[in-house]
């Protein structure tokens, strides 16, 4: 990505030491810059750089000045931790105050997404979900219909404008249910299972207290049951623990009384509230980052309670939602459309009160964790890979795109995000090759309802929680290496086909010159080098076609016979870059010509989009553009 309009908010702080929190490496001396979009650390010697989006900063802590310097720790929402030592106390304090300012803007319009708008933004990312098309795809029956009762968000500002309800439900029934449900969030359709007519609806808790009831709400529940002619029972799943629901009754809310509803069966799922979830994740992060032995780690994971919080439905029964496009539609529909409070839960903005921090909770993170658990059990059922989930997690917090800004659809429209910010979906579309799962088989699974839900089947998502911890995760994972191998084989097969075509042409022209293919010493995964010390590509000799044919030496561009293994690449091979591959979230990209591994900034694609070439190898050819 390319960023502009970065305003320096403080003078650069020099002679800052980057500390390895595990104590295994020497401190790196460099300079810190704080801008309106990123915090940047650049080493004095070498080319190491760290770019941290301001929206990803979760907390900043500073310690007292000591003989070694003043410690400053930046803890990030995507689980990176940056430990710094600053020589002067005043410089440390100024940087500390600046970081607090940039990571918690008081106005959502001050986040970087509003500066990051391109001149030619593809608006298709803002049209990822069309409600009518999605329900048509699901095969919604005539028992359900669209209502305009929430047009202009007049009935519920946290619901989408377009709602689907039972066809038999009249306006007075809907209005009564709206007044009875918390925040006006009446029961509304979110998924229709066409194989048996079952429907999944969602709603908020009722404002029932101990005695109150609502005839309209009871009627609506009955109509939801009757919308399925095969089964008129409504299973009401309350995700709260029962004790929490009882407490809410004292506050005038609570849960449905089965005695007043003729066709419901109530079930509590015992998912703890946002405050417990927040504490649970912090305990898990501490377990991943502080425990020194396996026993200590396992005890900490168990006590965190994090692995208890898993619940998911549509992903299990509908293969469409297990594709990249479908997964984005699912997020648009059930998270963005139905009003998950991303601004509050992800702390996109700060507030001058004590209540805002209490609203922060990793609900979306936990849902992604749940998806990963299923993905791990059935990897061939998903079109996307682990990197895709990690990227979504990062950008839910980063504030670099407008997709996850706002607490509801009404907020996003009032902020005009579709015209003022970039869509995350457009960005992900441009990098879709990074997120493809090589093992995906669309025909293999219809549903995943038979997955193993025993506690022993779940594990900690180290690719996320230990993402930036060197030495814990292997540099090379099976999916990335498989994709790399498939890509390389495809390139070699294409060149073999070209050589065969040229050989046939030569034979037709009646020329006797040979076509040679020479391995000129290109390095393998162990790093073999040519005589000049550089890894040379595979070259072709194509002379002898005759001047009249227009062919000459170098007709075909060289292609690397062997590619550097990902496990041998800890940093970009460009001598002027120094980008370090310190997590699985960063794709290692091979140059088709030399076979070395580079970061995304240091490769280009040819104008015909047939080759990916590093900056060094582009000098021999024009027509190269940025990836």
* Mean of all residue pLDDT scores within the chain: 82
Q: Categorise residue 384: left if φ over 0, alpha if ψ from -120 to 50, beta otherwise.
A: beta
By mean pLDDT, which of 6-20, 60-74, 505-519 is the weakest?
505-519
Q: Which of 114-118, 230-234, 440-444, 482-486 has the highest mean pLDDT?
A: 440-444
* Of 169, 166, 174, nearest in space to 143 by CA: 166
pLDDT of the residue at 622 = 53
Q: How confident is the model at residue 559 (pLDDT cuts 50, 70, 90)?
A: confident
**Position 321 confidence tier, pLDDT thresholds 50, 70, 90:** very high
Q: Residue 535 domain-assigned? A: yes
pLDDT of amino acid 503: 83
Task: Give the least confident one: 15-29, 186-200, 462-476.
Answer: 462-476
E-assigned strand segments in 434-526: 516-518
Residue 99 sits in a domain whose CATH number is 2.30.29.30
Residues 213 and 362 reside in one and the same domain: yes
Cα separation, 432 vs 435, whole angstroms? 5
The yes-or-no verdict on residue 530 having pLDDT over 50 is: no
Residue 379 shares a structural domain with residue 525:
no
Is 285 inside a domain boundary? no
Reported confidence tier of residue 10, pLDDT bands at 50, 70, 90: low
Choose the weakest-confidence range: 297-306, 350-359, 396-405: 297-306
Residue 266: predicted pLDDT? 86
Residue 273 is assigned to a ligand binding site: yes
Helix axis angle for 363-377 and 274-290, nearest 10°, is 60
Is 274 known as a binding-site position? yes
Same domain? 347 vs 246: yes
Residue 91 confidence (pLDDT): 93
Q: Break the chain down into helix, strand, coil percent, rounded to 5.
A: 40, 15, 45
**How far apart are the C-alpha atoms of 479 and 387, rounded to whole Å?**
10
The 8-class DSSP code of residue 619 comes to: G
Pairwise pLDDT comparison (25 vs 118), residue with the higher score: 25
The count of domains in the chain is 3
pLDDT for the residue 524: 40
Question: Which tens digit of pLDDT belongs to each residue from 87-126?
Answer: 999 999 999 999 998 888 889 999 999 988 765 566 788 9
pLDDT at position 62: 93
Instruction: State which of 473, 505, 530 marks the end of a domain.
Output: 473
Other beta carbons less than 10 A from residue 436's beta carbon: 17
Same domain for 483 and 457: no
Residue 382 CA to residue 477 CA, distance in Å, equals 17
Query: Which pLDDT band holds residue 291 (cuts at 50, 70, 90)?
Result: low
Which pLDDT score is estimated for 246? 80
Burial of 172: CB neighbours in 10 Å, binned 0-12, 13-18, 19+: exposed
Could you tell me if 536 and 603 lie in one domain?
Answer: yes
Same domain, 416 and 497: no
Tell me the per-residue pLDDT of 386-416, one tens digit each, with 9 for 90 and over: 999 999 999 999 999 999 999 999 999 999 9
237 plus 318 within the same structural domain: yes
List C-alpha distances in Å: 320 to 34, 36, 123. 42, 39, 23
In a domain, 297, yes or no: no
Residues 216-232, mean pLDDT to the nearest whole number: 91
Percentage of the chain surpassing pLDDT 70?
Answer: 81
378 and 421 in a single domain? The answer is: yes
pLDDT at residue 372 tops 90: yes
271 neighbors 240 (Cβ within 8 angstroms): yes
| Domain presence at residue 7 | no
Domain annotation covers residue 118: no
Residue 487, domain CATH: 3.30.40.10
Cα–Cα distance for residue pair 327/332, rounded to 1 Å? 9
The domain containing residue 45 runs over which residues? 13-103
CA distances from 523 to 292, 409, 520, 572 (A): 39, 53, 9, 16
- Region 465-483: mean pLDDT is 74
Mean of pLDDT values over 275-298: 66
336 occurs within a structural domain: yes
282 inside domain: no
- What's residue 465's pLDDT? 87
- Cα torsion 413, 419, 424, 428: sign: positive
Q: 608 and 510, same structural domain?
A: yes
Of 51, 52, 110, which Cα lies nearest the Cα of 350?
A: 110
Last residue of a domain, one of 473, 497, 530: 473
Lowest-confidence segment of 47-51, 129-133, 267-271, 553-557 by average pLDDT:
553-557
pTM over 0.85: no
How confident is the model at residue 301, as a pLDDT?
A: 52
Dihedral Cα 503, 504, 507, 508, nearest 10 deg: -140
State whether 340 and 483 are in the same domain: no
Average pLDDT over residues 270-294: 69
Q: Residue 232: how many CB atoms within 10 A of its CB? A: 14
- Report yes or no: 316 and 322 within 8 Å, Cβ to Cβ: no
Question: Quick check: 67 pLDDT over 80?
Answer: yes
473, 491, 524 - which closes a domain: 473
- pLDDT class of 82 with cuts at 50, 70, 90: very high
One domain for residues 437 and 562: no
Q: Is residue 5 part of a domain?
A: no
Is a pLDDT exceeding 80 seen at residue 8? no
Q: In this structure, are 450 and 495 located in the same domain?
A: no
């Amino acid at each position: 990505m390319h960023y502009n309009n970065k305003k320096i908010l403080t003078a650069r702080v020099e002679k800052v030491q980057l500390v390895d929190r595990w104590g295994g490496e020497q401190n790196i001396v460099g300079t810190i810059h704080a801008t309106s979009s990123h915090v940047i650390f650049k080493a004095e010697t070498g080319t190491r750089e760290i770019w941290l989006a301001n929206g990803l900063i979760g907390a900043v802590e500073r310690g007292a000045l000591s003989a070694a310097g003043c410690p400053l720790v930046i803890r990030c929402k995507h689980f990176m931790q940056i430990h710094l030592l600053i020589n002067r106390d005043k410089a440390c304090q100024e940087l500390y105050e600046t970081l607090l300012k940039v990571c918690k803007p008081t106005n959502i319009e001050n986040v970087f997404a509003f500066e990051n708008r391109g001149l030619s933004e593809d608006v298709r990312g803002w049209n990822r979900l069309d409600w009518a098309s999605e329900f048509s795809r699901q095969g919604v029956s005539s028992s359900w219909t669209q209502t305009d009762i929430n047009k202009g968000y007049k009935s519920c500002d946290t619901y989408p404008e377009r709602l689907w309800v039972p066809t038999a439900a009249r306006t007075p029934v809907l209005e009564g249910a709206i007044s009875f449900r918390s925040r006006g969030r009446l029961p509304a359709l979110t998924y229709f299972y066409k194989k048996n007519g079952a429907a999944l609806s969602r709603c908020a808790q009722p404002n029932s207290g101990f005695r109150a009831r609502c005839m309209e709400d009871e009627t609506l529940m009955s109509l939801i049951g009757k919308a399925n002619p095969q089964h008129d029972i409504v299973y009401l799943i309350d995700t709260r623990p029962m004790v929490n629901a009882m407490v809410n009754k004292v506050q005038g809310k609570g849960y449905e009384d089965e005695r007043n509803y003729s066709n419901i069966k109530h079930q509590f799922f015992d998912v703890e509230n946002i405050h417990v979830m927040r504490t649970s994740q912090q305990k898990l992060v501490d377990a991943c980052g502080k425990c020194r032995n396996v026993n200590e780690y396992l005890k900490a994971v168990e006590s965190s309670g994090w692995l208890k919080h898993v619940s998911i439905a549509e992903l299990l029964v509908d293969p469409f939602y297990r594709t990249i496009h479908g997964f984005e539609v699912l997020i648009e529909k059930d998270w963005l459309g139905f009003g998950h409070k991303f601004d509050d839960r992800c702390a996109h903005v700060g507030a001058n009160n004590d209540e805002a921090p209490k609203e922060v909770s990793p609900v979306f993170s936990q849902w992604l964790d749940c998806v990963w658990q299923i993905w791990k059990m059935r990897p061939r059922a998903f079109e996307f890979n682990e990197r895709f989930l990690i990227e979504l997690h990062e950008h839910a917090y980063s504030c670099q795109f407008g997709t996850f800004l706002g607490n509801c659809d009404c907020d996003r429209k009032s902020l005009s995000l579709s015209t003022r910010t970039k869509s995350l979906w457009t960005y992900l579309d441009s990098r879709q090759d990074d997120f493809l799962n090589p093992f995906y088989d669309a025909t293999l699974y219809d549903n995943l309802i038979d997955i193993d839900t025993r506690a022993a089947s779940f594990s900690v998502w180290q690719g996320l929680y230990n993402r930036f911890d060197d030495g814990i995760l292997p540099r090379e994972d099976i999916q990335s290496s498989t994709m790399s191998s498939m890509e390389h084989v495809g390139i070699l097969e294409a060149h073999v086909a070209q050589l065969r075509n040229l050989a046939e042409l030569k034979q037709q022209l009646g020329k006797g010159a040979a076509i040679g293919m020479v391995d000129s010493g290109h390095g393998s995964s162990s790093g073999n080098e040519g005589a000049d010390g550089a890894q040379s590509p595979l070259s072709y000799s194509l002379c002898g076609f005759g001047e009249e044919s227009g062919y000459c030496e170098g007709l075909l561009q060289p292609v690397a016979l062997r590619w550097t293994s990902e496990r041998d690449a800890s940093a970009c091979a460009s001598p002027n870059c120094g980008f370090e591959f310190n997590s699985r979230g960063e794709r290692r990209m091979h140059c088709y010509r030399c076979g070395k591994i580079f970061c995304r900034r240091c490769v280009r694609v040819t104008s015909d989009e047939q080759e990916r070439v590093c900056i060094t190898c582009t000098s021999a050819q024009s027509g190269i553009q940025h990836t």
